[in-house]
Structure 1
Amino acid sequence: MRTALTTKTIMATGSALLLTAMMSHAHAEPTGYDQISFQTEVKEEIANDEVRASLYKKAQATDIKTLATTLNTSINRALAIAKRYPTVTVSTGQQSTYPRYDKNDKIIGWTGQANIDLKSTDFTATSQLIADLQETLVMNNLNFGVSEIKKDALEQKLMTDASRAFQQQAKNLTRAWDAQSYRVVTVNLNTGNNNFPRPMYNSMRAADAESSIPSQNFESGNSTISVTANGTIELNK
């Protein structure tokens, strides 16, 4: 695991999460003179430990009732299969229904789609569940990322590192400008991450699948978590 540290003399851009810390001495307000704005950044590459997938059932029928019955039956069967894998979180996803028209704009039938979403840190169980579900459903996407618990823990560490880097850069600039000391006017801590960066797509249809689909070995890759500290200091000369 490698941690990178960089400093930049620019203001921070938008990020996934913004934590603002306003710090100033109670006995003196900033004057607006001899102020320097800059940014420090720390980042760390971390192994992805969570997989997410989406599967769906698409069907057509001449009437809404038949279509709904087909979709509901397929999704209910999929949810029943998913209960065999308690380490995988399963939820019903997006559902849609729309009419089909003939050349005279007359409704001749209906098309619908229902999705289920999977999330887990148990790659083995998720892979086997996906294989089981692909006998009746189609996989829409598969991607990997860092779980919230793991990401939050690393961000807490990087916030401390970024704050220390900001203070060190403030000291360096104070010396570079021949100032005696500095005070912090504002500091913003911004977190950002390249989460779920490795999408994998599988368009295998249930009708094309064999009677038993083997589970797939996952290679989850890494994500980069970063925290920037940007703000303004005022030099005391």
Structure 2
Amino acid sequence: MHFTRRAAFLALSLSTLASLPALAADEARYNQISLRAEASQEVARDLMIVTLYTEAQNSDPAKLAADITTRMNKALGQAKAVKEVSLSQGSRNSYPIYDNKTQKIIGWRERAELRLESSDFAALSKLTGELMQDLKMESMDFAIATATRKTSEDALFKEAIAAFKARAQLATEALGGKGYKIVSLNLNSNGYPQPFPRGAMMMKAAAMEAAPTPEVEAGKAKVNMNADGVIEVLQ
């Protein structure tokens, strides 16, 4: 009987101790408020991206490949001479051409791409016009450069936190509190927009008519950062 009473007392003590964290958790949630603040900024699309390509067909796949390689090497040589522009070769693929009746291979078609990027719109526009004497344009897009994105993110980070603290202070005053402490805080960006495509007609016209390099306006993109968190108002 004595052993049974000691066991029961021990079980009761352990149960009481186990309930203490739960009570502490209940107290920690006292006077807690969820808040959201937002900071936004318009960021210039300061990176121009141009994709050019060449395409041809021939019954001899070796001659076709040699022709495409010659065109691409010439374009690469021209592009490398412009230091303000970075370049990379895009996809290159070939596929057979079939006779409609016999379904036999009667030739081959091959296509190769060249991708150009620069923050110097004038230099890239001029180069694009020159390359379009031999190549065709697939697309012209505008994006936010990596360095610009990082600078913008750092600024928005500070602004979002400041906005959250201002809202937390406002909530504290409305509840008659003496102060507050931040329980949790999460910062999330809505992400930077994808490259914005522009029509290539003006570049085609410039290449065909040997007109002066056209002015290019890339525009801006609005970027948001949200600060979601929980504060505890101190009484």
TM-score by length of 1: 0.76
Alignment equivalent of 1:50, drawn from 47, 51, 54: 47
CA contact (8 A) 1:139 1:203 kept: no
Query: 2: CA distance between counterparts of 1:95 and 1:34?
Result: 63
CA contact (8 A) 1:139 1:201 kept: no
Query: 2: CA distance between counterparts of 1:114 and 1:205?
Result: 20
CA contact (8 A) 2:172 2:178 kept: yes
Query: 2: CA distance between counterparts of 1:52 and 1:196?
Result: 12
Q: 1:64 to 1:188 in 2, by over 3 A?
A: farther
The residue that corresponds to 2:139 in the other structure is 141
Query: 1: CA distance between counterparts of 2:71 and 2:128?
Result: 14
CA contact (8 A) 1:145 1:222 kept: no
Query: 2: CA distance between counterparts of 1:179 and 1:102?
Result: 83
**2:172 alignment partner AA:** T
Number of residue equivalences: 208
Query: 2: CA distance between counterparts of 1:203 and 1:109?
Result: 31
Query: 2: CA distance between counterparts of 1:35 and 1:105?
Result: 74
Query: 2: CA distance between counterparts of 1:47 and 1:60?
Result: 41
Q: Deviation per CA, 1:38-60, whole angstroms, max 9, x where unpaired?
A: 32111112333221111111111
Higher alpha-carbon deviation: 157-166 or 96-105: 96-105
CA contact (8 A) 2:125 2:203 kept: no
The residue that corresponds to 1:217 in the other structure is 215
1:186 to partner: Cα distance? 2.3
CA contact (8 A) 1:48 1:146 kept: yes
Q: Deviation per CA, 1:163-190, whole angstroms, max 9, x where unpaired?
A: 1111111222233344444332322222
Give RMSD over aligned pairs: 2.7
Query: 2: CA distance between counterparts of 1:204 and 1:48?
Result: 19
CA contact (8 A) 1:43 1:226 kept: yes
1:198 to partner: Cα distance? 3.6
The residue that corresponds to 2:199 in the other structure is 201
Q: 1:105 to 1:55 in 2, by over 3 A?
A: same
Q: 1:63 to 1:190 in 2, by over 3 A?
A: farther
Query: 1: CA distance between counterparts of 2:99 and 2:188?
Result: 54
Query: 1: CA distance between counterparts of 2:121 and 2:173?
Result: 52
**1:75 alignment partner AA:** M
CA contact (8 A) 2:37 2:226 kept: yes
The residue that corresponds to 1:85 in the other structure is 82
SS of 1:228's partner is strand
TM-score by length of 2: 0.76
Percent identical residues: 34
Check if 1:73 corresponds to 2:70: yes
**1:217 alignment partner AA:** E
CA contact (8 A) 2:202 2:214 kept: no
Structure 2 stretches lacking a partner, 5+ long: 1-23
SS of 1:199's partner is strand
Q: Deviation per CA, 1:47-100, whole angstroms, max 9, x where unpaired?
A: 332211111111112243222212211111100111221111111112222222
Q: 1:115 to 1:235 in 2, by over 3 A?
A: same
The residue that corresponds to 1:98 in the other structure is 95
Higher alpha-carbon deviation: 151-160 or 189-198: 189-198
Query: 2: CA distance between counterparts of 1:205 and 1:165?
Result: 44
Alignment equivalent of 1:188, drawn from 186, 191, 206: 186
- Which is helix-richer, 1 or 2? 2
Larger radius of gyration: 2
Alignment equivalent of 2:159, drawn from 144, 161, 173: 161
Query: 1: CA distance between counterparts of 2:190 and 2:60?
Result: 48
